[in-house]
Structure 1
Amino acid sequence: MYVNASYMELLTLAPLDLTATSMYPVFVFGTLTYLIIVLCNLLVLATIAVSKKLHKPMFILLFNLPISDMLGSTAFFPHLLFSIVTQNRVISQPACITQAFLIHFYGSGNMLILSAMAYDRYIAICCPLRYNAIMSPKKLIRIIILIWLINFSMMFTLFLLLARFRLCRTNVADLYCNNPSLMKLVCEDTRINNIYGLLSVVILMGGPLLMIIYTYAQILRTCVMTNQTDARKKAFQTCGTHLVIFLILQINTIFTFISHRIQSASPYIRRLLGISILLFPPFLDPIIYGLKTKELKQSIEIFLKRNIFSTKL
């Protein structure tokens, strides 16, 4: 459908294809999922904030992950739930671009945060005597500022390049707004956007992937060489948890991007992969870290006993 861009304000997202009987169960499931994501991530944030023994580089870096997760979930779930209730898939163009920006900001932010956490584990395991000097408070603050600065500047530039176009179509191919789907609505020359988009993927996905490969290879080498069984077990447990979360996000994101560039790719598989990016990491991050990281697990239990269960007694 082609229309004059100057008159275009509303876009239409891909239909949910819900029947009258399935609409309410899906709404309840979506609401509960969003509430669990928010509450679990807030619990991790609050626990790290109030527990002094968690005021270490590893957990201060981890503190940024729930913020990013909640940002991505909030960009997606409220509008989805509203669409289910109203059976209306229309979204304004500014709202669509804002949603796309926040979702991409969440995804790339998680990649950068996880790579910084991998670097922290690498220093802690491979250079334990220099850990405090390398991961000093000043350097830690610089790392965190750099993460958010790189993320914001690259995503802002990406969508600034998109905003210069006038959209000539209205039907968004996915269940939520994202840069590849919005680019399909443009009828002008998008070569600069495509080049910058590929550059962003290389930097924001390839960079963290190389960081993970290098740091984990060094960690594995150190763990194999060490004779301390307890230290080796703790290292594998911490790094294994981190690697699972990283791979879930990385693999799903890669396949989603690839499916956008393959014309014959099933749109249903692409939408399923797209939703999984916004569902599994925010849902699993606090649960996996809370259960597998001993210090955090103990601090969460203490926090709940002091602030939740004590009020009921």
Structure 2
Amino acid sequence: MENLTVRTPLKQPIVFELEGFYVPPGYGPLFFFLALLTYIVTLLGNGVVMWVIVTDKNLHTPMFVMVCNLVVCDLLGATVVLPRIMMHFLMGQKAIAYIPAIAQAFCAHSYGAAIQTILAVMAYDRYIAVCEPLRYHSIMTSARLHCCCGLAWSISVLLMLILFTFHINVPLCGRTIQHVYCTNRSILNLGCVSTPISNIYGLTTTWSLNTGVFLVIALSYIKILSACLKQGRSDSSVRSKAFQTCATHLVIYVLFVIALVINIMLYRFPSVSRNIQKFFGILIFVLPPLANPFIYGIVTKDLRNSVKKRFAARIHHKH
């Protein structure tokens, strides 16, 4: 007779345990310091970018309003994982209650979706700025700008809200989440029953969103490249300025895609150390938020000059 394993649903209140990193004895404080330093630099970098854009009226343009939305998204991504990882390194805390686990997973997925939709909106904005420069201000009005930004966030949040409705009434039989942070799939894997509809919806949403964003960005930049080559024949400064304006956005998108691909690919190789898999699993929440402010500061001349003026004025005022 076939042996059947009966899984007993967990009793309320549900408390999960994150598998976390394997930390060699005595190395916890060092890893905590590195995570804390990364988080502080991320907060300071994104905070400076937001502060400069908000306080400098010359930067109150559609492009920099979208940069502010990207900053908010970056701060969300870093805050989703780094504080809890720091607690894990410093105090060995792995327990997480059901509601915080769902909240962390929801925010993590919302960050991944929102950063892509915001980058797609930014690509559309750059397309209009380069290909329709004379009509730019009539097309990208304040109302349309806020509509585009609101749509980018709304699509992301709505898709994730639907995804997380599959958690309702799913009995859970396991406690250990095999990662350093909670995800939709890691929680549903602990269910007493399979959730094929959630799997289908999750895969369909992921594929559709990634493909849609890629097509929007690819088509926008094909148009931009074509316009730059045509305009550049008569005015090389036009081509140079257009490439400089678009380079920042493209670098940030490529950086996000690289982090995403590395994360996906490493889990396809069981021989890779679990610690390495987990490290690259959080890279998508750490690398873009950490690097984006510096990329904007280096590449975007207007933002770089504004930062210099703000800090120079403060230093002069103190003296």
TM-score by length of 1: 0.93
The whole-number CA distance in structure 1 between the counterparts of 2:169 and 2:42 is: 35
1:12 counterpart SS class: strand
**Distance apart, 1:234 and its partner CA:** 2.1
**Distance apart, 1:265 and its partner CA:** 6.9
> For residue 217 of structure 2, what is the aligned residue in structure 1?
212
The whole-number CA distance in structure 1 between the counterparts of 2:198 and 2:269 is: 19
Find out whether 1:291 has 2:298 as its counterpart: yes
TM-score by length of 2: 0.91
**Distance apart, 1:6 and its partner CA:** 2.9
**Distance apart, 1:278 and its partner CA:** 0.8
> For residue 184 of structure 1, what is the aligned residue in structure 2?
189
**Distance apart, 1:257 and its partner CA:** 4.5
> For residue 242 of structure 1, what is the aligned residue in structure 2?
249
**Distance apart, 1:252 and its partner CA:** 2.6
2:173 counterpart SS class: coil
Query: Which has the higher mean CA deviation after the structures are superposed, 81-90 or 108-117?
Result: 81-90
Who wins on radius of gyration, i.e. which is larger? 2
> For residue 236 of structure 2, what is the aligned residue in structure 1?
229
For the 8 Å contact 2:21–2:278, the answer to whether it is kept is: no
For the 8 Å contact 1:71–1:102, the answer to whether it is kept is: yes
For the 8 Å contact 1:205–1:250, the answer to whether it is kept is: no
Please list the CA deviations of residues 218-250 of structure 1 after superposition, one character each: whole Å capped at 9, or x if unmatched.
111111222221221222223222112112212
The whole-number CA distance in structure 1 between the counterparts of 2:165 and 2:8 is: 22
Judged with a 3 Å threshold, the aligned counterparts in structure 2 of structure 1 residues 263 and 290 are, in CA distance, closer, same or farther, namely: closer
**Distance apart, 1:19 and its partner CA:** 2.1
The whole-number CA distance in structure 2 between the counterparts of 1:163 and 1:257 is: 27
Judged with a 3 Å threshold, the aligned counterparts in structure 2 of structure 1 residues 255 and 165 are, in CA distance, closer, same or farther, namely: farther
> For residue 77 of structure 1, what is the aligned residue in structure 2?
82
Number of equivalent positions = 311
For the 8 Å contact 2:106–2:183, the answer to whether it is kept is: yes
For the 8 Å contact 1:259–1:265, the answer to whether it is kept is: no
Judged with a 3 Å threshold, the aligned counterparts in structure 2 of structure 1 residues 160 and 304 are, in CA distance, closer, same or farther, namely: farther
The whole-number CA distance in structure 2 between the counterparts of 1:102 and 1:218 is: 34
**Distance apart, 1:182 and its partner CA:** 1.9
Judged with a 3 Å threshold, the aligned counterparts in structure 2 of structure 1 residues 295 and 223 are, in CA distance, closer, same or farther, namely: same
What pairs up with 1:82-97 in 2 under 5 angstroms? 82-97=87-102
Amino acid of the residue matched to residue 152 of structure 1? Answer: V
The whole-number CA distance in structure 2 between the counterparts of 1:125 and 1:278 is: 31
For the 8 Å contact 2:106–2:164, the answer to whether it is kept is: yes
> For residue 131 of structure 1, what is the aligned residue in structure 2?
136
**Distance apart, 1:206 and its partner CA:** 1.5
Please list the CA deviations of residues 56-91 of structure 1 after superposition, one character each: whole Å capped at 9, or x if unmatched.
111111110111111111111111111111112121
For the 8 Å contact 1:61–1:144, the answer to whether it is kept is: yes
Identity %: 34
The whole-number CA distance in structure 1 between the counterparts of 2:256 and 2:168 is: 27
**Distance apart, 1:112 and its partner CA:** 0.8
The whole-number CA distance in structure 2 between the counterparts of 1:210 and 1:268 is: 34
Find out whether 1:252 has 2:263 as its counterpart: no
> For residue 17 of structure 1, what is the aligned residue in structure 2?
22
**Distance apart, 1:52 and its partner CA:** 0.7
The whole-number CA distance in structure 1 between the counterparts of 2:147 and 2:38 is: 34
Find out whether 1:142 has 2:147 as its counterpart: yes
For the 8 Å contact 2:124–2:216, the answer to whether it is kept is: yes
Counterpart among 29, 48, 57 of residue 53 in structure 2: 48
CA RMSD of the aligned region, Å? 2.0
Where structure 2 has 5 or more consecutive residues not aligned to the other structure, the ranges are: none
Find out whether 1:305 has 2:276 as its counterpart: no
The whole-number CA distance in structure 1 between the counterparts of 2:298 and 2:189 is: 42
For the 8 Å contact 2:66–2:149, the answer to whether it is kept is: yes
The whole-number CA distance in structure 2 between the counterparts of 1:118 and 1:28 is: 37
The whole-number CA distance in structure 2 between the counterparts of 1:181 and 1:231 is: 49
Please list the CA deviations of residues 75-133 of structure 1 after superposition, one character each: whole Å capped at 9, or x if unmatched.
11111111111112121121111111111111111111111111111111111111111
